Amino acid sequence: MPFHLHPRISTLIAAGAGPSGSPGFAGLRRGDPAGLRAVLDHGLAQMSALPPTPGVTARTYRTTAEDGTPLRLRWYTRDGTTPGSAVVHLHGGGMIAGSADLYEPLVRTYVAWTGVPFLAVDYRLAPGAAVGVPAGDAFAGLRWARANAGDLGIDPARIAVMGDSAGGGVAAATAILARNAGIPIARQILIYPMLDDRNLIPNRHLTAEPTIFSYDFNFTAWRAVLGDIHGTDAVPAIAAPARNTDFADLAPAYIEVGELDIFRDEDVDYARRLWAAGVSTELHVHPGLPHAFDVLLIGDEAGERHKTERVRVLHDL
């Protein structure tokens, strides 16, 4: 039987949810990172419609990247809760779009649901950022959280990295950097992560249904991120984690992806390679769901199961 898009998602996309509702979507061309940034940021701004989160407090901090560049951090806590765990969160947007500010409604929602504090890292974006910079910035955020664990009221051994889409890829790369540096991470929580720059040939079963993140988007984003080394053997694992060849001793993983997401196969393969290296990995592939399904379904009855799973994973840190 053919795949079928979840009816609620189909209705939302038809009503303009996601990038197709952007004024620049119709004229967007493959290979135009500035145009894609505008389209993606317009779509991400729709998260401002998420329900308010009274009782969640945000503070701004600063740290410094390895090359000396100042980085902005946002620390979110729920009033009256000190679980001891924490999450370093990396936003999505193809590594060419998005920001901690655009993702603030979603991060606040996670904190309100769980009471687990989140540190949002405003990492630098392509094409201005050099290859590997997003992961390096995220790693700087992780190191800052560990160095300030006492003041923040958290246990350094209970810090996870988390992100969705490109943020999931940056989180996976951060886990590689942490392993290489001998820094333990409680978990890498990868939500439909963008992992492989070689995923460019359309799968006809996936292109038959409306999508949130297309193969043309993927090409444009990876080309901006990697430049002339895109698709070559010179691409490092900290830029495209699917290029990693050593999965031993990486942090335990939690991976979610929809079966209609163009990242499905690379995400399933990443889980398989983690398992092959003896890394505990929980994998969920959700029938009938595309990229960004979780955000689209927040507040909808159809999204309650996914909310329950996220809350469980975050409470387990």
Residue 196: active-site member: no
Does residue 91 contact residue 163 with C-beta atoms inside 8 Å? yes
Say which of 89, 230, 291, 306 is annotated catalytic.
291
Q: What is the C-alpha radius of gyration for the chain, rounded to an integer number of angstroms?
A: 18
Residue 99: active-site member: no
Residue 165: active-site member: yes
* 222, 260, 93, 71: CA torsion to nearest 10: -90
Determine how many CB atoms are found less than 10 A away from the CB of residue 308. Answer: 11
Does residue 81 contact residue 152 with C-beta atoms inside 8 Å? no
CA–CA separation, 130 and 236 (whole Å): 12
Beta-sheet strand order (sheet of 86-90): 56-64, 70-78, 118-121, 86-90, 159-164, 188-191, 253-258, 281-286
Say which of 261, 267, 286, 294 is annotated catalytic.
261
* 185, 191, 192, 193: CA torsion to nearest 10: -30
Determine how many CB atoms are found less than 10 A away from the CB of residue 201. Answer: 6
Helix locations, the chain, DSSP H: 7-14, 33-44, 100-114, 133-147, 149-152, 166-181, 204-207, 215-226, 264-276, 293-296, 304-315
Say which of 165, 230, 294, 306 is annotated catalytic.
165
Task: Show the tokens assigned to 133.
Answer: 């910079």
Instruction: List for the chain the helix, strand, coil content (%; round to 5).
Output: 45, 15, 40
CA–CA separation, 308 and 149 (whole Å): 28
The catalytic residues are 165, 261, 291
